[in-house]
Every structure is written in structure tokens, then in C-alpha cells.
A and B are shown apart, each in its own frame.
Chain A
Amino acid sequence: MLVLARKKGEAIVIGDHIEIIVLDTEGDTVRLGISAPKNVQIHRQEIYKAIKQANQEASKSTIHVRNLANLLKPDEA
């Protein structure tokens, strides 16, 4: 992994189109500004992981939607 030291207000560029600037630091929190083309997906890592995991769980829902619907209308089930 490439490790670079940066001060507040300094930036790094990745390729031609991505720039990451250190906006602020406070305690152990660093605020970053990121400029990138719109087709580049940028996510907080833990959030992206959580969504992946939620999707993987959801993909194991093998229930037929009709059963789910019946559950919501117990009178007609």
C-alpha cells in the first residue's frame, strides 16, 4: 500500500480524474473532499459492506411472494 502524509488543504490525485483533498481534521476524524467522475462509485466502506451483506441475506429469501402477501392479509389467507 502506498502511504502518503498530507496536511490540511493538501490533496492527492489518482489518475487524471480523481482528486481527494484533506478538508479538516479533528481528533481521530479526518474530513475528506472527493472529486471524481460521476460513474465512479464512492461509498463509506462499512456502509457498502452492510449493503452487500443485506443483499446477500435478501437473496436467500426463497419464499414465494404469495405466501408473504397472505401473511399480510390474514383474513384472506
Chain B
Amino acid sequence: MAKVQITTAACGPVEAEEQEILEFPHGIPGFESLQRFILIKPDEEIPFSYLQAVDEPELAFVVTNPFTFFKDYEFDLPEADQSELEVEREDQLVVLVIVTVGDNLAGATANLFAPVVINGELKRGKQVVLHDTAYTTKHHLIPAAAGEGRG
């Protein structure tokens, strides 16, 4: 099994199996040139991982399973995205959302408007843009910090 060494700013050097590398054919909006990512879970006990760019140590997104924090979260994966990800069954899919943490840790938000959907069998992913949805790019992870906003 081929191993690759990946340098990461978040976790230092990481060794990964080549077959764990996820291909994002369109990159991620804002970072279109980076098309290879890897999921790094620093600790099984905690509900966050890094979506780390293989070719850019400085670029990693904090991601989480949206259903952990937003039990009612749901969306229809647009047909074009289904075909791009060659989805045959729902259980092939891994859904993650990108978390933004600003200066205030408690104000961390998740982007439910544009989830990252990965075909885990094919190792192909994309950030899906939902149409006609009430979700936004910023939902507070900690409802108490949301104030009067949505939780």
C-alpha cells in the first residue's frame, strides 16, 4: 500500500494511505486549484476533523458531521451533483460541513448552505451549493451563543 507524507500546518507531518486521498475535481470555491484533500481526525472522541489540502500545508478546513449538531438538517442532493459523484446508494455518501471559528471560540459557525459531500467509495467529493434552501453559511454550533439568531 502506497503511503504519502503530507505536511500540515494544523497537525504537523501526517502519513496517509494514497487511497485515502479524496479528489475534488472542481476544488473548493475560493481554492479551485487544490483538488486533493484528506480527512484527518486528530481524536476519535471529538466531533471535528480537518479537511486538509494535500498540496497546500496551510489550507485545512475544520469540518464536522452536521447531523451531530443539527439533528433536523436535511437537503436533496441536486441531480447534477449526484451524477458527478456517481452516487448509486445513499450509504456511499459522507456529508460534512465546514466550520468557521473567528476570534470568539463560542461563536463558531457551520456552513449548512454549502455542505461537503463525499462519495466515500469513489473517494470523490465536492462542496455542493444548495438551491432553494433556508440554510445559510453561518449557523451557530452552540445555540446559546446565537443570541436571537437561529440556533
CB distance from B30 to the nearest CB of A (A): 4
**A52 located at the interface, meaning its Cβ lies under 8 Å from any Cβ of chain B in the complex:** yes
A65 to B50, CA, bound (A): 8
Proximity bits, B112-124, A CB within 8 Å = 1, else 0? 0110000000000
Determine how close the nearest CB of chain A comes to the CB of B100; give it in whole angstroms. Answer: 4
Which residues of chain A in 38-77 are interfacial with respect to chain B, using CB atoms and an 8 Å cutoff?
38-39, 41, 43, 47-48, 50-59, 61-69, 71-72
Question: Which residues of B sit under 8 angstroms from A65, Cβ to Cβ?
Answer: 42-43, 46, 48-50, 62
CA distance A6 to B123 in the complex (A): 43
- How far apart sit A3 and B82, CA to CA, in the bound complex (Å)? 34
Query: In whole angstroms, what is the CA distance A33 to B122 when docked?
Result: 31
Query: Which of chain A's residues have a CB closer than 8 A to the CB of B102?
Result: 57, 61
- Check if A55 sits within 8 Å of B46, measured CB to CB: no
Map CB proximity to A onto B82-124 as digits: 1 under 8 Å, 0 otherwise.
0110000000000000111110011010010110000000000
Rounded to whole angstroms, the CA-CA distance of A48 and B127 in the bound complex is: 11
Interface residues on B, range: 35 or more
Is there contact, CB below 8 Å, between A68 and B98?
no
Interface residues of B in 114-151 (CB under 8 A from A): 114, 127, 129, 137-138, 141-142
Q: Which residues of B contact A39 (CB under 8 A)?
A: 25, 84
The interface residues of chain B, by DSSP majority, are classed as loop
A59-B31, A65-B50, A72-B141 known; A54+B105 contact, CB < 8 A: no
Question: Could you tell me if A58 and B105 are in contact, using CB atoms closer than 8 angstroms?
Answer: no
Classify chain A's interface size.
20 to 34
Also in contact, A55 and B47, with CB within 8 A (given A43-B129, A61-B99): no
Q: Residue B21 at the A interface, CB < 8 A?
A: no
Cβ-defined contact, A72 with B142, below 8 A: yes
B interface residues with partner A (beta carbon < 8 Å)? 9-10, 25-26, 28-31, 42-43, 45-50, 59-62, 80, 83-84, 98-102, 105-106, 108, 111, 113-114, 127, 129, 137-138, 141-142
